A = this chain, B = another copy of it.
Amino acid sequence: MRHALATLCVFAFVTQAADPPHTLRGYSQQTSATELQWEQKFKAIPEEDRLRENMRRLSARPHHVGSPYDKDNAEWIAAQLKSFGLDAQIETFDTLFPTPKERALEVLEPVKYVAKLEEPALAIDPTSNQKSEQLPTYNAYSIDGDVTAPVVYVNYGSPDDYKELERMGVSVQGAIALARYGQTWRGIKPKVAAEHGAVGCLIYSDPHEDGYFNGDVYPKGPMRPPFGVQRGSVMDMPLYPGDPATPGIGATPGAKKLPLNEITTLTKIPVMPISYEDAEPMLKNLDGELVPAAWRGSLPMPYHVGPGPAKAHLHLKFNWDRKPLYDVIAKIPGSKYPDEWIIRGNHHDAWVNGAGDPVSGASPEMEEARALGELLKQGWKPDRTIIYCFWDGEEPGLLGSTEWAETHAAELTEHAVAYINSDGNGRGFFRAGGSHSLEDFVNGIMKDVEDPETKMTAWKRVRLADMARATPAQRAEFKSRPDLRISALGSGSDYTVFTDHLGVASLNIGFGGEDAGGGQYHSIYDDFYWYTHFEDTDFAYGRALAQTAGIMMMRLADAQILPFKFTNFADTIHTYIAEIKELDNGQRARTKEINSQVEEGVFDAMQNPKKKMVPPSKEPVPPYLNFAPLDNAADELTRASDAYEKAFLAAGSNAPAAVNAKLIKSERMLLNPAGLPNRPWFENLIYAPGFYTGYGVKTIPGVRESIEQKRWTEADVQIAHAAAALQKEADLLDEAAKQIGGH
């Protein structure tokens, strides 16, 4: 589901450490050598031809939730996994999944135009004509609606864009907000539009974002053609993902389902995605001010804000049915610690044929399972239990993973060591995001994977390339930090329930940066023809992904002591706190500055009588906050993580495996059962998607968002909560250190 262009990123501020003798963290010299031998065998197994054939099969027909081929794929995957020797089953849930019954958009004034709302089949693209099975272009979880209103162009439709509209003296009250895709997650656009009084929302793909501005359009090149449309969910996932009718619990047959009118994650206004060719008749007929330069897209015309004269009629009606989900779950039982689970996942459902999203990630996941099956036949036995998941219903709202994890919440809380996710995969640089206690582990894996194009290690390639892009200040950091940084996770794929709801240490991984990225994202053209012409065309990076994820699973499954490293986590927490203080100070300084400019008459001086400009008003200056609890807890965390590290290194392979029970719980310490303000489902106090970003992460979100949203009392409360979580983590590490043999 997550846009390929917007995937994970690794920031690299690291000096090249001399290679240490290659003993894996958490292993003895001997078990390390054995492990590395098995990993070598593993890495030789995934085959590019099989990756290609998996993709051909899985993307042969549209396979969205509720479609025949979605079920067919699940059954085929399960059968394949069984044939590899794995214990595979299908777990079924049923969830609310609206599909369109009626869709209409007309421009009524000043020209008449009936929107096509359809992506044309292309002769050269053999699956693009499967009209009867394709989901039409729509945004899932939009409400029904029939509205006629003047149109206002709102740029990306972010909260900041509405501040700019206010400066221009333009309101969307009673209007249809026309937003372009990009920058902020699509579900934020109708949410913020509704908050400002819009009665409807249209989201179009400006050629600036993924069309001709970025390269040749399909089928000549990979980019989105004029009638291409991005489908996608607009469920208010920052409140909670998964089945809207069963928040917090698994959508099993007996579960209590909320009636439609009690569900909070549907949009408040009707919303529909359109192509730029369908948007142009509206955009061309807007008067009002020319929009700021940063708001202008790549259509050949001046972008005006409106409102009107373009007036549109939007009509939407949906089937509000519940549909079955088919999660495929396969297990390899652990030989030593069967109750410690290493979990891997990628979704298998798509919006249409979904060769890129998700099959380019699901196909390597299948190759991993096949390769592990091969190793089992050769005598390898993982110490811990390995679980391979192929999720259904990710696209509409992370349905399959969320319902499965909510159903098994108690077991997962008890047993889950880590969750490793992938989604659409591309070509280029390895990218990882996730729990910072696994950062060092990720770096170790990257050093053992070869980049197919350069034959360097994936680690070296990323490090060098990121160095080239770094600022001089960042480059200085390279020298002092041996590990590349991994980013924090927001949302947009199936790790969400694990990270944010259950506190299971998670990673999201993939390759990208050299491919065409999101050109056909969520369109009928994201198919086998497109992927094999423009993306990872020889599946070299599909193979690299299978190798990377596979050895991650093995290395976690076989470690004597789980390879969590907390000093990196502590270090990064300090940088987040510094960011938040900077945010706070910046807001204070800006407010003071604007207040003084209002007083001095700056906005009178800037008035252009031929251009409307509403000057800002004076605002209360943000009060100073007490960050001391957070600073103290972060210092405690630094001290405790250092102590654990010292004890761990001193004990070496003599450390008692019993400490793993504590390490498994380490990520759980970050949870607050009360959740974040106004969204109790999100329990993690360190990582969350932003309430107004949707996908983009907000670290230490309770504190950061209450400052951003100017709720000062709440900020104080959230500082205390976050500090308590970090203190709990420090306490756990102290206990772990003691258990290993520290003091």
Interface residues of A in 289-329 (CB under 8 A from B): 290, 296, 298-302
Q: Is the CB of A453 within 8 A of B302?
A: no
Q: Is the CB of B214 within 8 A of A290?
A: yes
Q: Is the CB of B607 within 8 A of A464?
A: no
Q: Is the CB of A514 within 8 A of B597?
A: no
Contact residues in B for A456 (Cβ distance below 8 Å): 601, 604-605
Shortest A86–chain B CB gap in Å is: 36
Choose, from A231-239, A465-473, A646-654, the stretch at the interface. Answer: A465-473
Contact residues in B for A607 (Cβ distance below 8 Å): 453-454
Q: Which of B213, B464, B589 contacts A602 (CB 8 A)?
A: B464
Does A400 reach chain B (CB closer than 8 Å)?
A: no
A213, B610: Cα distance in complex, Å: 19
Asked whether A300 and B207 contact (CB < 8 A) given A290-B214, A597-B467, A609-B453, the answer is: yes
Q: Is the CB of A302 within 8 A of B221?
A: yes
Asked whether A212 and B608 contact (CB < 8 A) given A464-B602, A589-B472, the answer is: no
Q: Is the CB of A454 within 8 A of B604?
A: yes
Shortest A590–chain B CB gap in Å is: 9
A656, B462: Cα distance in complex, Å: 72
Q: Is the CB of A514 within 8 A of B610?
A: yes
Mark interface residues in A570-613 (1 if CB within 8 Å of B CB, else 0): 00000000000000000001000100010011111111111100
Q: Is the CB of B464 within 8 A of A605?
A: yes
Contact residues in B for A221 (Cβ distance below 8 Å): 302
A464, B221: Cα distance in complex, Å: 49
Closest residue of chain B to A609 (Cβ to Cβ) is B453
Contact residues in B for A257 (Cβ distance below 8 Å): none
Best-buried of A212, A221, A298, A302 by chain B (most CB within 10 Å): A302
Does A444 reach chain B (CB closer than 8 Å)?
A: no
Contact residues in B for A604 (Cβ distance below 8 Å): 454, 456, 464
Does A460 reach chain B (CB closer than 8 Å)?
A: yes
Does A216 reach chain B (CB closer than 8 Å)?
A: yes
Asked whether A602 and B465 contact (CB < 8 A) given A290-B215, A589-B472, the answer is: yes
Closest residue of chain B to A601 (Cβ to Cβ) is B464
Does A428 reach chain B (CB closer than 8 Å)?
A: yes
A597, B470: Cα distance in complex, Å: 12
A139, B300: Cα distance in complex, Å: 27
Does A461 reach chain B (CB closer than 8 Å)?
A: yes
Best-buried of A298, A593, A607 by chain B (most CB within 10 Å): A298
Closest residue of chain B to A226 (Cβ to Cβ) is B300
Closest residue of chain B to A586 (Cβ to Cβ) is B472
Q: Is the CB of B300 within 8 A of A300?
A: yes
Shortest A440–chain B CB gap in Å is: 22
Q: Is the CB of B606 within 8 A of A468?
A: yes
Q: Is the CB of A300 within 8 A of B302?
A: no
Interface residues of A in 440-461 (CB under 8 A from B): 453-454, 456, 460-461
Q: Which of B302, B475, B514, B609 contacts A214 (CB 8 A)?
A: B302
Q: Is the CB of B602 within 8 A of A300?
A: no
Shortest A603–chain B CB gap in Å is: 8
A412, B558: Cα distance in complex, Å: 90
Q: Is the CB of A299 within 8 A of B302?
A: no
Interface residues of A in 601-637 (CB under 8 A from B): 601-611
A221, B303: Cα distance in complex, Å: 13
Q: Which of B299, B302, B601, B611 contacts A514 (CB 8 A)?
A: B611
Shortest A690–chain B CB gap in Å is: 26
A47, B172: Cα distance in complex, Å: 44
Shortest A308–chain B CB gap in Å is: 16
A215, B296: Cα distance in complex, Å: 11
Q: Is the CB of A212 within 8 A of B597?
A: no
Contact residues in B for A593 (Cβ distance below 8 Å): 472, 475
A468, B290: Cα distance in complex, Å: 21
A600, B479: Cα distance in complex, Å: 14
Q: Is the CB of A602 within 8 A of B468?
A: yes
Q: Which of B290, B463, B600, B609 contacts A464 (CB 8 A)?
A: B600
Asked whether A465 and B606 contact (CB < 8 A) given A212-B302, A300-B207, A302-B215, the answer is: yes
Q: Is the CB of B212 within 8 A of A300?
A: yes
Q: Is the CB of A465 within 8 A of B605?
A: yes
A222, B65: Cα distance in complex, Å: 52
Contact residues in B for A215 (Cβ distance below 8 Å): 290, 302
A419, B221: Cα distance in complex, Å: 58
A608, B535: Cα distance in complex, Å: 13
A221, B301: Cα distance in complex, Å: 12
Contact residues in B for A453 (Cβ distance below 8 Å): 607-609
Best-buried of A460, A589, A604 by chain B (most CB within 10 Å): A604
Contact residues in B for A298 (Cβ distance below 8 Å): 298, 300
Contact residues in B for A601 (Cβ distance below 8 Å): 456, 464
Contact residues in B for A609 (Cβ distance below 8 Å): 453
A302, B212: Cα distance in complex, Å: 5
**Sampled A-B contacts (10; CB under 8 Å):** A207-B300, A213-B296, A214-B290, A215-B302, A454-B604, A456-B604, A464-B604, A472-B589, A472-B593, A514-B610
Q: Which 8 A-B pairs have the closest CB atoms?
A: A464-B605, A514-B608, A464-B602, A300-B300, A461-B605, A468-B602, A465-B605, A215-B290
Query: What would 16 more interface pairs be, CB under 8 Å, given A217-B302, A298-B298, A460-B605?
Result: A212-B300, A216-B290, A298-B300, A300-B300, A428-B608, A453-B608, A453-B609, A454-B607, A456-B601, A462-B605, A464-B601, A464-B604, A464-B606, A468-B605, A468-B606, A475-B593
